[in-house]
Amino acid sequence: MMKRTLSVITALMSFAVMFGAGRVQAQDLTATSANADGRFVHDTDQGPSQNLNRRWDGAKYDDATFDVGAHTGKGSTLLDFDVDNIRSTEESGNLDLSLGQQLLIKGDFSRLTHRDGYIANGMTINNNFLPSPYVGFAQGMSTGTAAAVKRDFQEEEIVLSLSRMSPYRLYLGQWEQHVYGNQGLVLNDKLYSQGMSNYNREIYGGIDADLSAKSQAYYEYGFRRYVNTGEDVPGIIIGKAWKDLNYQADTNVTNNKFAFKYNPYNSLSFAGSVVTRSRYNEGNGLTQNTYAGNLSSSYRPTKNLSMTARLYDRGVQTSYESTYSGNTNTPAQPIDFLFLNGDFDIRYTGLDNIILAGGYRPSATLRNNSNAWAQVYPSTGFLNGGVYGLSGGVNAPAGEDTRHNISGKATFELPQNVELELSENMLRANAAAYENTPTQSYAEMISLIVPLPQNVIWMGSAEQVNSKNTMATFSNFTEKKDTLLTSLTWSDSKGRGSLGLNYAFENGVDSIDAYWSATSGENPASGTKQGTVYTAVLEPSAPYKFTNHVVSASAMLKPTSKFRINGNASYTDSQGLFSTQGAFNSLIPSWGNNAPWVGAQYFNATDTRILHLGLDASYQLCKFVSARGGINYNDWVDRVNNANDGRNTVYNVGVDYKF
Amino acid sequence: MNLLPDRAALRKVVLILSSLSFAPLLALAQPQTSATTPPQTAPAVQPAPAPAKAVVAAPAEAATEVGASVCASCHTEKADAFKKSWHGRKMPGMKGVDFEKSCESCHGAGSLHVAAAGDKDNPGFATTLITAEKNDRCLTCHNQRKLINWKVSEHNQQGIACAQCHKIHDYAVEAPKPKSEICMDCHKKKRMEASLPFHHPILEGKIECYDCHNPHGGDFRNMAAESVNETCAKCHAEKLGPFQQEHPPVAENCTICHSPHGSINEALLKESQPALCLGCHKYPHAGTNAVNGVPAALLTHSRCTNCHFAIHGNDDGGWFTNH
């Protein structure tokens, strides 16, 4: 609210100065529209399960909330009537002031606030979701997850043009995010509540210039600061700040950016940029410097042929030396990265009824100090293509990997205006960056668009992706995913109505060889696998399967030019399971009875049904004023844990005035 | 002359404008403001009839301007709507283009079009331009810094017209269609992903596609910042540290573990825990006490982050547990 007020005051002061100088006439000023919007929210359900149900509003009480607001410009400015549990508000607006030919000021601001909390993620123990995030695992370990998080965004930008026809534009902007709420933690079997509050603020400014009729450039400087103001737990957490559970160090980020474009001819364009960032962690004294650059061009030698080439270069370097002394263990030297990417695309439309497109995207990633963790924690156990650390295997990422991505697409114009599209995408890599990073991948897609009589259009597409890591040391990662999309749409030729039906299906299987060790000793004593001797190793060797169905429909009816009704409905069915039943591959006879139970119990199955219904109507009262209202109903069912079930009904009303 | 590019572009326009948005808003849906109203259907557009191939000769004389009043004599509704639209209200003051010059400032001189009684296939008319040439007309005024990469962008390379996403002439008292809905008219798979149980609140209207992407071309592909990590770090600043104890995939790319558009798993993870973690870490908690052969850690926690909650990095030597 304060920021918005300041913005308005700034604008008004400029306005007043100009008026005072007698240089501005009323007709020189152009302002934007104003709207009024009210929102009435009524919850029909109660209980902690609502928090998960309405993740972004999270109202828990059967109370009414009412917002009254005035819109300016593109959005809304809300004057809050804080009755009770106002769940979220949105304010935005813009203002254009022009002073004859000499001066043009444009201002934009927006603010989004979630005023009520929600559980970011709950606590699960033994696959039982605990509605209260304050209950944790009590064995002398502290843990915490956000219990109620509120989030506030605000963004403002002012652009100053020295004259209406000036090639130079100065701009200044600020962006702010505030996250606040409470976080629960358990320490030594006791429950504590810990405040959480952090700000993320950025100010930036720059100059944007038309250097010539064919070129443009701008320079921008930005400063962003992240501040954690969360409270400690009195009397419990003693010691340095980094031991607090909600510890998040204050961070400063400065960035410089230069960008340009140059179009020597209509058919030839160049663009590029250089961005440097420096990120400083006040808690540990570390600094991370990044630089990124890109050089791009597009060339259209004929009307039927277009080509684009983009080269990217990015480096990340973190300083290792610092005066930080809170860490009692020897830290591993951070990995420094160098990323090199290229995008090359070509498109040809010169064939009758066929459009051809192709792309090639090479990339190379270099990782300096990638083996740092292995050096710090040397192997004292067995090796199986990786490093066996003190408490498990730490596989170092590859020091370098190169990837090649090739794509091709053909679009065919068939009789009766039918359009058929075929595409193929192939990936090859020379090394596995991480165990679950594919080194080979194929993706095929076919899409069909069929215009039907009476303004009906049917669309269908099918895509299959097959990926695997052929160079993994132990995980044997594979992934297969199928996606089907289909839609049927109808629209009235005069815009009086429309109807849409949509169905999306996704089915996937990820497979890994995941190893748990159940031995009480670190040196395996019996059993063999792949030539390495170890014992009591649990190898699920099982697939992770997921299936999603999304069915939706929407309709619009506009019986008169002033009255419009919108309706929509959707049903989402999502299931995911790391199925180990019958697929466990245990080397210990005693596992025989436990394996299926362990697998199904501890690998976090999900089974969710979500239903949404909505209806909105708007009516134009007069030339510049319209009114609207709506109702939305949502129902969430969690078949794995019914404690998460919930439903809500939301009403909203609004008035818009635009001048 | 091959009319295929325009035909294809027209079909895409028809498809996009006439297709209805599919509104799988979840139980997580919020009180709807005008900006978050469930997807509204775009104005209906008659599917374009297949244009007959025609051999179009070059015009014998150059076209001259006729003035918007002449245009409005036939295109009355369009002219009336334009006068009330953003372009119609802003161009005289901001660009010095009065109404009489407004139509032809974008569509080109219209004398030949008038002489041909409005024949769309007549040479010199705007439909003979390819999409890139039409877009160039928009770019003569729209030179904001966020458009600086448009000509090298993916959308431009794929022949997407400005008019496919932006309304040029229209005026509406009620709120315009939310911008993310425009993206999802084509990117239907992203709409499905945004409908999954855990997702960025795109369909709820709390975040827009352009908060992470620049549809006009970014410094790195279509990202709003120069890398994926810097895009994520704008809101999730605390995740990048830098930390004494670094989790390498975090520092490299957030999408190694996360599916930002939506996931069936909490925290937008690609796989549920512990499967995701076991994909890179083997034999975790080897040597710890076991009960009936089951590691204690597995018995009491089904999520690695129940204890290793500082998984993005920390400054304590306690293996991302901050204790």
Q: Cβ atoms within 10 A of the Cβ of A32, count?
A: 17
Chain B residues within an 8 Å CB radius of A75: 35
CA of B23 vs chain A CAs: smallest distance (Å): 6
Query: Tokens for A185?
Result: 């933690």
Residue B171 — pLDDT band, cuts 50, 70, 90? low
With 70 as the cut, is the pLDDT of residue A498 above it?
yes
Task: Tell whether A236 is within 8 A of chain B (Cβ).
Answer: no
Give the mean model confidence (pLDDT) for residues A436-462. Answer: 93
Helix (H) or strand (E) holding B35: none
Give me the residue from A292, A435, A485 closest to B279, CB to CB.
A435
Give me the residue from A314, A624, A632 closest to B29, CB to CB.
A632
Q: Do B302 and A575 touch (CB under 8 A)?
A: no
- Specify the pLDDT at position B17: 36
User: Per DSSP, which regions of A188-229 are E strands?
Assistant: 190-212, 215-228
Chain B residues within an 8 Å CB radius of A157: none
A143-181 pLDDT, tens digit each: 333 334 556 666 666 666 665 567 888 888 888 887 766
- Specify the pLDDT at position B59: 52
Among A101-110, A129-138, A344-353, A407-416, which stretch is predicted with the lowest mean pLDDT? Answer: A129-138
Q: In terms of pLDDT, which residue wins out, B25 or B289?
A: B289
Angle at which helix B4-18 crosses helix B179-186, to 10 degrees, equals 120
CA of B69 vs chain A CAs: smallest distance (Å): 23
Amino acid at A133: P
In sequence order, what are the residues at sequence separation of 6 or more whose Cβ sits closer than 8 angstroms to the Cβ of residue A351? B4
Question: What is the predicted ipTM?
Answer: 0.78
A111-122 pLDDT, tens digit each: 666 554 443 333
Under DSSP, the state recorded for B58 is: P
Nearest in space to B15 (alpha carbons), one of A491, A314, A548, A249: A491
- Specify the pLDDT at position A404: 97
Give me the residue from A499, A510, A614 closest to B23, CB to CB.
A614
Amino acid at A454: Q
Residue A19 — pLDDT band, cuts 50, 70, 90? very low
Q: Do B275 and A514 touch (CB under 8 A)?
A: yes
Amino acid at A597: W
CA angle A114-A117-A121, nearest 5°?
115
With 60 as the cut, is the pLDDT of residue A421 above it?
yes
Q: What residues does A610 pair with on adjacent strands?
A: A572, A636
Task: Tell whether A549 is within 8 A of chain B (Cβ).
Answer: no
Q: What is the DSSP string of B91-113?
A: IIIII---HHHHHHHHH---HHH
Q: Which of B244, B269, B285, B302 to mutate to test the interface with A (most CBs of A within 10 A)?
A: B244
Among A451-460, A532-541, B159-168, B236-245, which stretch is predicted with the lowest mean pLDDT? Answer: A532-541
- Specify the pLDDT at position A92: 54
Give me the residue from A76, A459, A636 closest to B27, CB to CB.
A636
Give the mean model confidence (pLDDT) for residues A548-553. Answer: 90
Q: Are A68 and A78 a contacting pair, CB within 8 Å?
A: yes
- Specify the pLDDT at position B149: 95
A577-621 pLDDT, tens digit each: 766 543 344 433 343 444 444 444 456 677 888 888 888 888 888
Spatial separation of the C-alpha atoms in residues A580 and A602, rounded to whole Å: 10
Nearest in space to B314 (alpha carbons), one of A314, A239, A328: A328
Q: What part of A 158-197 touches B (C-beta under 8 Å)? A: 164-165, 175, 177
Classified as helix, coil or strand, B74 is helix
Q: What part of A 335-394 touches B (C-beta under 8 Å)? A: 335, 337, 339, 341, 343, 345, 347, 349-355, 357, 365, 367, 370, 373, 381, 384, 386, 388, 391-394
Nearest in space to A577 (alpha carbons), one of B265, B255, B198, B199: B265
Q: Are B312 and B258 a contacting pair, CB within 8 Å?
A: no
Direct distance between the N- and C-terminal alpha carbons of chain B, in angstroms, rounded to an integer: 72
A643-654 pLDDT, tens digit each: 666 666 666 666
How far does Cα A116 stand from its chain's mean position? 21
Query: Tokens for B36?
Result: 């978050």
Residue in A closest to B255 by C-alpha: A437
How much of chain A, in percent, has pLDDT values that exceed 70? 53
Spatial separation of the C-alpha atoms in residues A124 and A139, rounded to whole Å: 15
With 70 as the cut, is the pLDDT of residue B147 above it?
yes
Give me the residue from A269, A337, A485 closest to B151, CB to CB.
A269
Q: Do A566 and B40 touch (CB under 8 A)?
A: yes
Chain B residues within an 8 Å CB radius of A419: 8, 11
Task: Tell whether A436 is within 8 A of chain B (Cβ).
Answer: yes
A368-390 pLDDT, tens digit each: 888 776 655 544 333 333 333 33
Give me the residue from A263, A316, A628 closest to B151, CB to CB.
A263
Spatial separation of the C-alpha atoms in residues A473 and A592, rounded to whole Å: 27
Note if the bond before A264 is cis, omega within 30 degrees.
Answer: no
Under DSSP, the state recorded for A5 is: H
Residues in chain A: 659
Residue in B closest to A657 by C-alpha: B173
Give the mean model confidence (pLDDT) for residues B148-162. Answer: 93
With 60 as the cut, is the pLDDT of residue A206 above it?
yes
Give the mean model confidence (pLDDT) for residues A56-79. Answer: 33
Mean of pLDDT over chain A: 68
Give the mean model confidence (pLDDT) for residues B288-293. Answer: 47
Give me the residue from B38, B192, B266 closest to A550, CB to CB.
B192
B124-137 pLDDT, tens digit each: 555 567 788 888 88
Q: Do B26 and A56 touch (CB under 8 A)?
A: no
Q: Do B295 and A283 touch (CB under 8 A)?
A: no
How far does Cα A409 stand from its chain's mean position? 28
Spatial separation of the C-alpha atoms in residues A474 and A400, rounded to whole Å: 19
CA atoms within 13 A on the CB side of B190: 17
Among A588-597, B37-46, B88-97, B203-212, which stretch is predicted with the lowest mean pLDDT? Answer: B37-46
